[in-house]
Amino acid sequence: MAFDHNDIEIIKKEAVFKGYFRMDRYRLTHKLFDGGRSPELVREVLERGKIAAVVPYDPMRNEIILIEQFRPGAMAAGWEPWQTEIIAGVIEEGETAEAMAFRETQEECGCEASTLLHLGSYLSSPGCSSETVDVFCGRVDTSNAGGIHGAPHEGEDILVRSIPVDEAFQILESGKIKNSMTLIALQWFRNQLANINAAWLP
């Protein structure tokens, strides 16, 4: 998104950690609402990059696909480590969000998405991370969906289930889903389902 770069002065930026993720430290000042400028701030930012997420939906069978996989952040928080989620992955350099959505749908649930509809975009945690998420609904055939998928060399062990849309909404309302990406995506999907069906059903 565009903004006036003169509103922010980056005094210094340095990488303070590089591992599975990268952490950068910024020294900066920014404009204040009263017209002045802030004192110099030091802030660490988790440089996560861009994510694409997909709600795989079969309009003919009225089913969506949800997955379960181990999440160390949930474990560290003392919550259930095996999280119920939608399809998601990191957009690689030179790759579009749409291309990643097609690719990850195949890799994580073994289904080909024939069509994508963009549901929305958001920042995951703008106070501490650069991660952005583009959410899509992907049209799939769930008749043979299921089983265990993922890339073993990346440590992925993904359980795939196709379930009726009404059951998915019941799970959403039950509070079982604890991760923001899936909560946001399923809410958007529910809100836009009539339009999705109008586009995809005969």
The residues annotated with a catalytic role in the active site are: 154
Cβ proximity of 46 and 126 under 8 Å: no
Report how far residue 181's alpha carbon sits from residue 187's, in angstroms, rounded to the nearest whole number.
10
For residues 121 and 135, the answer to whether their CB atoms sit within 8 Å is yes
Phi, psi of 191, rounded to the nearest 5 degrees: -65, -30
> What is the Rg, in whole angstroms, of the alpha carbon atoms belonging to the chain?
19
Residue with tokens 């019941």: 170
Asked if 17 and 23 count as a contact pair (C-beta separation under 8 A), the reply is yes
As a whole number of angstroms, the distance between CA 148 and CA 202 comes to: 32
Partnered with residue 37 across adjacent β-strands are 31
